[in-house]
């Protein structure tokens, strides 16, 4: 039983850090606003940080994920920018998407080869992109392969807490109170409604 809790500052900066992920037992990776990303060695307190730009755009990252070999970070807004660890030690851009309503929210991997990222509705369906090659390439699932969406439906940029994977399955919770479900690593999908309140855009 814990009787006390101590909080220790490990990284102080003016950026807003919205996404963190343990890469191993001691290495905490993070990404946030102003293109900022980096790692913290929790055993030694050593911090490595960097920032990235895309042309004149300074991205804001809200989702990160990792495999055994690579770290990934995904920006919000348009253009969506998905980066992975590159062979030369620099972050490599592996997916972009441009559109008025493009806004990606979360990202997670089933295994070292297969993963998905989820975003708000574009062209009348939820945005879901899939990788089958360890994140080197990503394919957006067309609307005719997804359940019919709801106008304005999103998935919350909430540090990946709106998505969960187990085995070959995945569940995505959306702002309309719906749950999207796949049993075959994103090949086929269904959705169910829940009684979760969603009368305003910040509920669901």
Residue 54: strand pairing partners = 57
**Residue pLDDT tens, the chain, 204 long:** 899 999 888 888 888 988 999 999 999 999 999 999 999 998 998 999 999 999 999 999 999 999 999 999 999 999 999 999 987 778 999 999 999 999 999 999 999 999 999 999 998 899 999 999 999 999 999 999 999 888 888 887 777 889 999 999 999 999 888 999 999 999 999 999 888 877 776 654
Q: CA-to-CA distance for 168 and 158, rounded, in angstroms?
A: 23
Q: CA-to-CA distance for 105 and 45, rounded, in angstroms?
A: 29
pLDDT, position 18: 84
- Residue 119: both structure tokens together: 């975003």
pLDDT, position 129: 98
The predicted model scores a pTM of 0.91
pLDDT, position 181: 98
What residues have CB less than 8 Å from 118, skipping those under 6 apart?
104, 105, 106, 107, 126, 127, 128, 155, 162, 163, 172
153, 174 Cβ separation under 8 angstroms: yes
């Amino acid at each position: 039983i814990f009787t006390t809790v101590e909080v220790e500052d490990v990284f102080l900066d003016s950026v807003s850090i919205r996404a963190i992920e343990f890469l191993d037992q001691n290495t905490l990776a993070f990404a946030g606003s102003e293109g900022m990303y980096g790692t913290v060695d929790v055993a030694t307190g050593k911090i490595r940080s960097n920032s990235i730009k895309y042309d004149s755009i300074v991205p804001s990252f809200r989702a990160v994920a990792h495999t055994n070999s690579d770290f990934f970070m995904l920006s919000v807004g348009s253009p969506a920018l998905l980066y992975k660890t590159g062979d030369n030690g620099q972050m490599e851009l592996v997916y972009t998407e441009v559109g008025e309503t493009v806004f990606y929210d979360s990202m997670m991997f089933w295994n070292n080869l297969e993963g998905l990222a989820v975003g708000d509705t574009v062209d009348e369906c939820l945005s879901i992109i899939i990788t089958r090659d360890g994140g080197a390439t990503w394919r957006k699932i067309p609307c005719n392969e997804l359940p019919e969406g709801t106008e304005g439906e999103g998935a919350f940029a909430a540090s990946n807490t709106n998505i969960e994977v187990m085995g070959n399955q995945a569940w995505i919770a959306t702002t309309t109170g719906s749950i999207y479900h796949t049993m075959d690593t994103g090949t086929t999908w269904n959705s169910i409604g829940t009684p979760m309140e969603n009368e305003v855009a910040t509920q669901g």
